Amino acid sequence: MERFKITPAVKGEKVTFSNPGPEFYEAVGGEEGMRKLMYHFYDLIYESDIHNFFPQDPEAFQEVKEKNTKFFIQRCGGPKLYNEADAGEDLDHYMMRFHDDFSINEKARVEWLGCMREALKKHEMDEDLKLDFWNYVEAFSKLTVNQFPEKRPNPWF
């Protein structure tokens, strides 16, 4: 998993990414496999330092887990399960704007990615296919960061 690097989100930087190839979706086990992977990921999130970004009520958290899993199933080439009435055709833009309601900094992003890395580590499949998915989430997650440290002038100069 040492190939699964985290590069910093930089304010104003253009972020480019590609959806994971359909080979990932097939190798993970299709829709059921994606649910298993993503539910494990969200269980890790629920125990993480960023659990406060998510509902604390178990039923409400389950709804978020199910909705977000549908997003990832669709992003990975599975059926269009995500509620397009909410998102429209541009799922990526919708997901970026959805995160505007939260103050997400680089530390929270790294914690989120750490949970994803842990979930991927436990899932048996080809490392290159995992890396394909990782490259997508690592880059896309930069677009959710909306709180950057202010650069303050050095008072000594």
pLDDT at position 86: 53
CA dihedral 9, 46, 5, 23 (to 10 degrees): -110
Task: Produce one character per residue of 7-16: b if its CB has 16 or more CB atoms within 10 Å, e if not.
Answer: eebeeeeeee
Dist CA 132 CA 112 (whole Å) = 17
CB 69 within 8 A of CB 39: yes
Contacts of 18 by beta carbon, 8 Å cutoff, 6+ apart: 135, 136
Look at residue 17 and tell me if it is in a domain.
Answer: no
Task: Produce one character per residue of 42-75: b if its CB has 16 or more CB atoms within 10 Å, e if not.
Answer: bebbbebebeebbeeeeeebeeebeebbbbbbbb
Which of 71, 90, 69 is closest to 80 using CA atoms?
71
Look at residue 157 and tell me if it is in a domain.
Answer: no
pLDDT at position 151: 67
Look at residue 72 and tell me if it is in a domain.
Answer: yes
Range of the domain at 130: 22-142
Q: How many domains does the chain have?
A: 1
Look at residue 55 and tell me if it is in a domain.
Answer: yes
pLDDT at position 118: 97
pLDDT at position 103: 80
CATH number, domain of 84, equals 1.10.490.10
Per-residue pLDDT of the chain (157 residues; tens, 9 = 90+): 678 999 999 999 999 999 999 999 999 999 999 999 999 999 999 999 999 989 999 999 999 999 899 989 999 999 988 765 455 555 555 555 555 566 889 999 999 999 999 999 999 999 999 999 999 999 999 999 988 887 665 556 5
CB 49 within 8 A of CB 114: no
pLDDT at position 2: 77
pLDDT at position 98: 54
Look at residue 16 and tell me if it is in a domain.
Answer: no
